[in-house]
Structure 1
Amino acid sequence: MNIVKAVKYCLLLATSVVLAANVQAQDKVGTTAAAFLSISSGAKATAMGGAYVAIADDGSSMFWNPAGMAQLENNTVTFSNMNWFLDSQIQDASVVINGGNLGNFALSVRAIDHGEIEVRTIEIPEGTGEVFTPTNLAVAVSYSRFITDQFSIGANTKFVQEKIWNESATGFAVDLGVFYRTDFKNLRIGMSMTNFGNEMKMSGDDLRQAIDIDESINGNNDRLEGYLGTDSWPMPLLFKVGVAIDALDIESHKVELAIDAKHPSDNSESIDLGIEYGFNDLLFLRGGYRSLFSTQIEDQGLTAGFGLKYDFNGIGANFGATYMTHEYLEDPILWTLQIDF
């Protein structure tokens, strides 16, 4: 019972901190680079409103809390796809290798497919006939291990790149996480810090410009080589703490509840809520609410999804699909396929 009281106290404290912080919250949206790192990953996690830092038990675990990856008992291959605005697609892929007593190792990739964009200039606004493809890419190497039977740690190291036309920005970041589970109703507590890295700055050949220092003087050199300056921006640093518990686990029925409190560097503090009902470890129904108390209404919204799980002669297959509401853009749909072997 002491554990239950402690969890209630932590949740009350987290909610109070979020509400108090948002009283004086300032608009920090658009103050970071590589914002695509903050977009949700994995059908289960997304359907549960992003309340996943204390669960993190599938192929998307390194995105939410790398320490949770230690729970995976098999080798795992996972692929996810989400339709995003303007016909773009967000794609995630990961491979997790179970190293036994050495811990678990993983390689993951996130990329956004924007398709081809036609080049238009001031001189030729109808299009030059050329096309280009913007790039948003993150590649991570992960490691996680149980230090005791109940406590695990984990980390990601990430290479991040954004590119548009001939300009690009490159960064390196780390994610850190801890995970603790108890014997009381499978109560779990998780914490993570993600996207801690250097600032990113766009550079490239198109920033070189011919400059006339003083246009009022005739005969001076009006083709001096200049370079347009760009600002450096930090990555979207995020701190999360969460609690998850099996509220019901009898025979063929299981109900899992989760709540996360998050503190992003580019937005206001908020709460994520999630629930999953599982039947016979085969069919799963999920729901959630993301970014409760956020000052950005477009970040808030309901989430819902389902999952299917089946074993084929020792090879596990997991499929999930998720629907999210969005205030202004087309409602995204995400699906995930995971193979365990």
Structure 2
Amino acid sequence: MRKIYLIVVLSLISCGLALSQSKAGTSAAPELTIPVGARYTAMAGASGVLAEGVEAITWNPSGVDWLVGNGQAMFSYRRYIADIGINYLAVVGKFGFGSVGLSLRTFNIGDIPVTTEFQPDGTGEIISPNFFVVGLTYSKKLSDRVSVGANFNLVSESFGRVSALGVAFDAGVQYRNMLNIPGLSLGVVIKNIGPTMKYGGSGLWVQADVPGSERGLTFYKVEAASFQMPTSFEIGLGYNFAIGEANNLGFTGTYQANNFYTLDAYKFGFEYTFRNVLALRAGYNYNKSGELESIWHNYTLGVGVNTESLIGLKVSFDYAYVPVTYFSANHLFNFKVGF
């Protein structure tokens, strides 16, 4: 059985490293790369590969089956750059064959005035882009140490009279108490594997007059380019330990390779928990190479409150603060309930 676990981990690592060699530059469905959920975002995403329960859906689906209880539900809101609002709703349930989750991400981009090469100040028409991601998750603990999981995401984008539809898959594995060391964990995940996306629709038909043609003014279709999914690979190590009966500390380091961006990321996270009630979190995302620097190359902060030991309800609240270069800082709010 240990050989099987090792094969699974090494296979994911090998696939991830192979995928990370290609740098696409521009990708489809960039909304898949935006983290949701305040707890792990507050730690710069470093602990995401070791996430558990409902929050693990978008970070590493293999962690979903580590949920405590029969199920969990979560709502999260993120104020993204350019005043884009991101709403996230997810629910998971534990069954005899593993845990199953459903999730929905919606993006409130707002109203955008339509401009053309002949009317750069606007045509008077207003469009409202409609982006959303629907996810189905399955996770299973293979033993008291190893779990695996996968996501299927349906991506829908539309604005004006054009639209695109795509699918993306995630696969991950977690290995806890590694090397028989309590609290030492390894997480590996490959995200957003799928076919290319391409826009279509009546909005791509334009009227034009081809010089030298006798057809006169007629409609021609603009052929949209297709783009790869924003595939990424993450591998991380974490260590948690208790100090007395009231305090718990956790440290995590994660490497992320991207096929859609020149820079890879090195993430570091910290979490301190007092009596499983109050949590203080911090992280740092090193996303820089020479003079090239990501807007996310920065620190992160957060706090969380778990009410279970206070009032007996499995309810928790989390907040994350994410500074962004050139833009206003992002604020994330999280509400989770167990049942």
Where in structure 1 are there 5+ consecutive unaligned residues? 1-13
2:203 pairs, out of 172, 195, 206, with: 206
Q: Which moved more, 1:263-272 or 1:309-318?
A: 309-318
**TM-score for both structures, normalised by structure 1:** 0.86
**Which residue does 2:331 correspond to in 1?**
333
Shift of 1:53: 3.7
1:261 pairs, out of 255, 261, 272, with: 255
Shift of 1:165: 1.3
Question: Would you say 1:171 and 2:169 are equivalent positions?
Answer: no
**Which residue does 2:76 correspond to in 1?**
80
**Which residue does 2:186 correspond to in 1?**
189
2:128 pairs, out of 127, 133, 143, with: 133
DSSP 3-state at the match of 1:45: helix
Question: Measured at CA, do residues 307 and 58 of structure 1 come closer, stay the same or move farther in structure 2, by a change above 3 Å?
Answer: farther
Q: Distance in 2 between matches of 1:335 and 1:144?
A: 25
Question: Measured at CA, do residues 30 and 110 of structure 1 come closer, stay the same or move farther in structure 2, by a change above 3 Å?
Answer: farther
Question: Measured at CA, do residues 146 and 106 of structure 1 come closer, stay the same or move farther in structure 2, by a change above 3 Å?
Answer: same
Shift of 1:123: 5.8
Q: Distance in 1 between matches of 2:49 and 2:31?
A: 22
**TM-score for both structures, normalised by structure 2:** 0.86
Shift of 1:191: 0.4
- 1:103-122 aligned within 5 A: 103-121=98-116
Shift of 1:224: 3.5
Contact 1:53 1:192 in 2 (8 A): no
**Residues 16-36 of structure 1, C-alpha deviations (whole Å, 9 max, x = no match):** xx9xxx9xx99x585101111
Partner amino acid for 2:80?
W
Q: Distance in 2 between matches of 1:332 and 1:121?
A: 32
Q: Distance in 2 between matches of 1:251 and 1:140?
A: 38
Q: Report the count of equivalent residues.
A: 315
**Residues 250-295 of structure 1, C-alpha deviations (whole Å, 9 max, x = no match):** 2101110011111111122221100000011100000000134454
- 1:267-282 aligned within 5 A: 267=261, 268-282=263-277
**Which residue does 1:235 correspond to in 2?**
229
DSSP 3-state at the match of 1:59: helix
Shift of 1:187: 1.1
**Which residue does 2:298 correspond to in 1?**
301
Contact 2:205 2:222 in 1 (8 A): yes
Q: Distance in 1 between matches of 2:243 and 2:258?
A: 34
Question: Measured at CA, do residues 315 and 237 of structure 1 come closer, stay the same or move farther in structure 2, by a change above 3 Å?
Answer: same
Shift of 1:67: 0.2
2:56 pairs, out of 52, 55, 61, with: 61
Contact 2:129 2:160 in 1 (8 A): yes
Contact 2:62 2:173 in 1 (8 A): yes
Shift of 1:118: 3.1
**Which residue does 1:8 correspond to in 2?**
none
Contact 1:239 1:264 in 2 (8 A): yes
**Which residue does 1:153 correspond to in 2?**
148
Shift of 1:239: 0.5
Contact 2:287 2:293 in 1 (8 A): no
Question: Would you say 1:310 and 2:304 are equivalent positions?
Answer: no
DSSP 3-state at the match of 2:54: coil
Q: Percent identity?
A: 30
1:42 pairs, out of 37, 44, 48, with: 37
Contact 1:200 1:234 in 2 (8 A): yes
Q: Distance in 1 between matches of 2:338 and 2:36?
A: 18
Shift of 1:103: 0.8
Q: Distance in 1 between matches of 2:280 and 2:109?
A: 31
Shift of 1:132: 1.9
Contact 2:196 2:226 in 1 (8 A): yes
Question: Measured at CA, do residues 160 and 129 of structure 1 come closer, stay the same or move farther in structure 2, by a change above 3 Å?
Answer: same
Where in structure 2 are there 5+ consecutive unaligned residues? 1-12
2:246 pairs, out of 226, 248, 252, with: 252
Q: Distance in 2 between matches of 1:296 and 1:161?
A: 30
Contact 1:53 1:241 in 2 (8 A): no
Partner amino acid for 1:55?
L
